Amino acid sequence: MPGDLTRDAITITLVTGVLIWVLPLIVGTYTLTVLAIYGMLGLSLGLVWGFGGILCFGQAAFFGLGAYAYAIFAINIGESTVPMILAVLVPAVFAAFLGALMFYGRLGDVYLGVITLVVTLILFKVINSTAGPQYVIGNARLGGFNGIPGFPTLNVPGIPDAYIWGDRYFQVCAVLLGLVCMLVTALLRSSFGRIAVGIRENETRMSLMGYDVRARKTAMFAIGAAIAGLAGGLFANWAEIVTPNLFSLGQSAEIIIWCIVGGLGTRLGPVLGAAGLAYLKFLLGQQAVVDNALVTGLVLVLFVLFLPKGVVPALSALWRAGAGRRPRGRVRQRRRPPRRERLNG
């Protein structure tokens, strides 16, 4: 990856700053908040799948776990700082266990897909069936299908009465998204990130070079889950209710669609894909002629068929060709091998 970290950090800061200032002039901040949260969620899978080569069909599980962890601890603790930290930690620890189970078993990508999908379903079914008053964690009733409403929302750390909401909350989410972007950038520039990309490209080669592929994949999986958990905690604050639908297969499908449409192997792609498609869904929700799922499904099929690389890589290739700049090195010119081989490593 060319350039250096400082320049990237400055770019991300500038872009985030400008967007926080400009976007609310066009779209309401209530909508923008959730777009930023989805952007973060998209980025979490974009990191795990696009750079780590781990196709997770259950990223929604970590999103939902983060949201539920926040809601449950917020009710029990009464303020938001510790629950927010737990919203990151709980999914990360869960993912570390699940990842260790899968990667130390050296499961192939199809089996990985099945297991993550099944785990998401288990969580969905379990949470869905906790409707009775006997299912309580501390003071928080799990509420089954109806979810958990009425937990304290985000406040200024240390001052439980100073709630952050409305425009301020959007700014918090956007800044956090910028920070996560920077974190991901730093991670990818570090040796850990480069080795992760190496594992994506050829797992056997990396393990022969002496790297512990299983531990590194597990760590990558946990980091992705932590980001998804943070997005989940923020989402719980935005929606002010958490329901089992956060764990649904539809939610997982959407995250995967964002990544595919935005572009795998880029940082910007999943964020843009998430925000763009979520906004499209929001617009589609305002009319009753065409069903939402129909359009989402069609978008996914068309992208897999005609633009499997996604929008961002296609546009940047176009940009390079248009600007008359020669692509850097052979690697960028080479046609991408079929994804199956890439993921199998």
Partner 1 sequence: MDLYVVVLVEVLYGVASLILISAGLAIVFGMIKVINLAHGEFMMMGGYATITAVNLGVNVFVAMLVIAPVAVGLVGLVVERLVIRHLYGRLVDTMLATWGLSLFFIGLATMIFGNTTTGISTPIPGFAIGDYQVNGYNFFIIVAAALLLVAMLSVLKGTRAGLVARGTMQGPEMAAALGYSPDRIYMATFFCGSALSGLAGAILAPLVGLVPTSGGAYIAKAFITVIAGGPSLVAGLLSSASLFGVVNQAFTFATSPVIGEVALLVAAVVLLRILPQGVTGTFFKGKI
Nearer to partner 1 (CB atom), residue 121 or residue 195:
121
Verify binding: residue 125, partner 1, rule CB under 8 A: yes
Min dist CB 14 to partner 1, Å, is 34
Verify binding: residue 109, partner 1, rule CB under 8 A: yes
- Kindly give, in sequence order, each residue whose CB lies less than 8 Å from that of residue 151, ignoring residues fewer than 6 positions away: 70, 71, 72, 74, 75, 140, 236, 240
Whole-number Cα distances in Å, 233 to 62, 216, 298: 10, 26, 30
Verify binding: residue 304, partner 1, rule CB under 8 A: yes
The tokens describing 131, both together, are 């409707």
- Kindly give, in sequence order, each residue whose CB lies less than 8 Å from that of residue 210, ignoring residues fewer than 6 positions away: none
For residues 149-178, which are near partner 1 according to CB under 8 A?
Answer: none
Verify binding: residue 102, partner 1, rule CB under 8 A: yes
Find, among 223, 218, 267, 276, the residue nearest to 91 by Cα. 223
Whole-number Cα distances in Å, 50 to 17, 220, 275, 331: 26, 11, 18, 16
- Per the CB < 8 A criterion, the answer to whether 241 and 5 are in contact is no
With CB under 8 A as the contact rule, the residue among 308, 315, 316, 320 that binds partner 1 is 308
Verify binding: residue 18, partner 1, rule CB under 8 A: no
Verify binding: residue 23, partner 1, rule CB under 8 A: no
Nearer to partner 1 (CB atom), residue 326 or residue 335:
335
Nearer to partner 1 (CB atom), residue 106 or residue 194:
106
DSSP, residue by residue, 329-343 = HHHHHSPPPPHHHHH
Phi first, then psi: what are they for 153, rounded to 5°? -90, 180
Min dist CB 120 to partner 1, Å, is 9
Min dist CB 203 to partner 1, Å, is 15
Binding marks (x or -) toward partner 1, 26..65, rule CB under 8 A? -----------------------------x----------
Give me the residue label for tokens 């990856």: 1
With CB under 8 A as the contact rule, the residue among 175, 300, 315, 317 that binds partner 1 is 300
Residues interacting with partner 1, by CB under 8 A?
55, 101-102, 105-111, 113-115, 117-119, 121-122, 125-126, 128-129, 249-250, 253, 256-257, 260, 290-301, 304-305, 308, 338-340, 343
